[in-house]
Each structure stands twice: as structure tokens, then as C-alpha cells.
Amino acid sequence: MATTNAPATQDKLVYDPQYILQVRDLKKYFPIKGGMMNRVVGNVKAVDGVTFNLKRGTTMGLVGESGCGKTTTGRTILRLYDTKTAGDVLFNGKEVYDLSHEELRHMRTEMQIIFQDPFSSLSPRLPIGEIIGEAVREHNLVPKAEFDDYVDEVMDQCGLQPFQKERYPHEFSGGQRQRICIARALALNPEFVVCDEPVSALDVSIQAQIINLLNELQEKRDLTYLFISHDLSVVEHISDTVGVMYLGNLVEYGAKRDIFNNPLHPYTEALFSAIPIPDPDAKMNRIVLEGSIPSPANPPEGCKFHTRCSKCMEICKHEAPCQREIEPGHFVVCHLYD
């Protein structure tokens, strides 16, 4: 049984070319200020120890209850915050937070994000051809003479008609707007895309179309996705690997079949026990979690899940467990596997 978590390791993370993204013990805290002097009196530990590797051309689903730190993890990886609190984020072997201004500008074309809300993430004042092409022009990605054809091609790949270029976002449905968001992200020809709940604001029938589009585009362009969602059936459909987050920690991750068929962490077991079984005769053994999620500003000592865990032991209350590899590629953070 290998222990792979890195909290105690300060040595440099070694680049492994099979992985487009290597994340080790990533932390992102947000200070809480208060008192007369407006001093820092605490921290919201939104991301508090996330370790995983992501292979090129694959999709990792990131799941967990809302507020568990999924979105902050995605944004910290993309360096959408100025700083991280601790840890390493290697993208194609380069530490994202060590990049110069110029290198970061270039990296912005290689790493993209698709947001949850296709309504608020599009400027209402620009026609969609401009929205999709704006960053392409800014980064001089294609010669001027080829710009229009390039935007047409990207729109076509994303299921939009080039004649719609002059229309404004309000003239489109929710599903079409999400296609516009996908086209805007892919126009920069990225290698890696964080999809942050990209279908949760859409009707179920439209969700399937968008998921299929993401799958098709991944195949055509060899894209790598970090797919953030609270919808386990969507994650099961799209992911190759799955990570489960609880209160800022990645408590389990591995191949999709291992996580869905053999969840090891008590939190993963509870989360996955709620998936409906499409068989009227099958009995669901749903595990109902008692209590609510503790505050990330004041998380419990030891294992952060111990206040809700039915298998809690004495050690869990005082000592935080390390990440262990239980079978090849299947990692869990729980004292049951020490």
C-alpha cells in the first residue's frame, strides 16, 4: 500500500510527461478580516490539500456537495487567483504560479474554462461572432485574412451556424448559449479545459447534447477536461477518472469504474448510495449523512469528515489521514486503510 500524499514533502515535483496536469497538496485559503485594525483573524480553507495527476486526452470528474471547494480548485489550477496558499500545480511540466506575465498570457490560450451559467458569462452587448473571436484576435492566433473563416469553422464544430454571427446572446436558447461559451473557449485551441458545472443550468434533454458535443470535441482535438459537477450520472457518463472532494480535501480518486463500483471512503459511499438504480425491483441502500457540512473557516481537527462518519475511530478525531494508493491508481484518504 503506497502513501502518496505530499504534505511533508518539500522537494520539487518531478514532471511526468504522461500527465498534462500534476497537482500536489494544493491549498487556497481566503483570509477573514476583523477587529478594530481589520487584521486577519482566520481563514476560509476553501482548498486544503488536493493531490492528483491528470493524463492527457482524458476527463477527470470532480464531485462533492456544494461548497466543498470544487470550483475554487479549478480556478486555483487556472491561476484565476493571484496567489495560491501552498502546493504545486504543474501544467505541461511548468509551475503555473512561477510563470512570467508573458508566459502566463500564452498559457491562457492553452488552459480555458467553461462556466456554469451561459446567461451571465456572455456580454449582452457583443454579437456572438465578436464574443467567439475576441480573444483569437487579441492573441493573434490566426492571420487577419483567415479570421472570419476560422470563427465560422469553430462555430460549425460547436453546432452553431456561421450566419448567426451577427446575432446577440439574448437571441439564443440556454443550450445554444452554452455552445457559444464552448466555442469561445475552444477558439483559442486550448489543450486543457475546466468545465465548471457546464450543464447544470440546462434542461435535461439539452444537457445530453452538450455532453455529447464535449465528447466529440475531445476526440477531435485531443482535449483534457477537468469536469466539475454535483451530478453523478453526468460525471459517470463523461469521466475517465473521478475525484471526490469534502471540505477542501480530495478524499478519494481513481478510475471511474473503481470509484463507482468500489467506493472506499465512507463519504464516497454515502454520496454514491444516493444514485438512483434504474431497476424497480432493486433495493437502494441509501446512506443518509447526519448533520451538515462544518464551516471551512473552522473545520474539525483530524479527519474533517469525522463529525459525520459512522465509522469514525478515536484516531480520526486527532490525526488527519494521508492519501494512500489502495490499488493501482485508486487513492483514498482515510484511517480505515492505514
Residue 71: CB atoms within 10 A of its CB come to 20
Minimum Å gap between C-beta 318 and ligand SF4 is 11
Q: Does residue 190 belong to the site contacting ligand SF4 (CB under 6 A)?
A: no
Could you say which residues in the range 224-283 bind ligand SF4, by CB under 6 A?
A: 265-266
Phi, psi of 315 (to 5 degrees): -60, -30
Contact 324, 332 (CB under 8 A): yes
CB of 46 to ligand SF4, least distance (A): 20
For the bound state, the minimum distance from the C-beta of residue 3 to ligand SF4, rounded and expressed in Å, comes to 14
Distance CA 308, CA 300 (A): 11
- Give yes or no for residue 324 binding ligand SF4 (CB under 6 A): no
Least gap, CB of 233 to ligand SF4 (angstroms): 24
> What is the spatial distance between Cα 68 and Cα 72, in angstroms, rounded to a whole number?
9
Q: Which residue has the cell 508566459?
A: 103
Please, what is the minimum distance in Å from the beta carbon of residue 220 to ligand SF4?
41
Please name which of 110, 100, 117, 45 lies closest in space to residue 77, comparing C-alpha atoms: 110
Stretch that binds ligand SF4, among 7-15, 61-69, 219-227, 301-309 (CB under 6 A): 301-309
**Does the protein bind ligand SF4 through residue 311 (CB under 6 A)?**
yes
Which one of the spans 134-142, 145-153, 178-186, 305-313 is the region binding ligand SF4 (CB under 6 A)?
A: 305-313
One of 206, 208, 312, 326 touching ligand SF4 (CB under 6 A): 312
Question: How far is Cα 131 from Cα 164, in angstroms, rounded to an integer?
Answer: 12
Number of shown-chain residues binding ligand SF4 (CB under 6 A) = 14
305 part of the interface to ligand SF4, by CB under 6 A = yes
Taking alpha carbons only, the member of 281, 114, 260, 282 closest to residue 187 is 114
Sites for ligand SF4 among residues 32-91 (CB under 6 A): none
Question: Cα separation of 243 and 330, whole Å?
Answer: 10
Q: Which stretch binds ligand SF4 (CB under 6 A): 85-93, 133-141, 146-154, 307-315?
A: 307-315
> Can residue 24 be called a binding residue for ligand SF4 (CB under 6 A)?
no
| Shortest separation between residue 257's beta carbon and ligand SF4, angstroms | 22
- Strand 94-95 relative to strand 2-3: parallel, antiparallel, unpaired? unpaired
DSSP reduced 3-state for 156 = helix
Query: Across 213-322, where does the E strand assignment appear?
Result: 224-228, 241-246, 249-255
Radius of gyration of the chain (CA): 21
Which positions touch ligand SF4 (CB under 6 A)?
265-266, 303, 305-306, 309, 311-313, 316, 321, 334-336
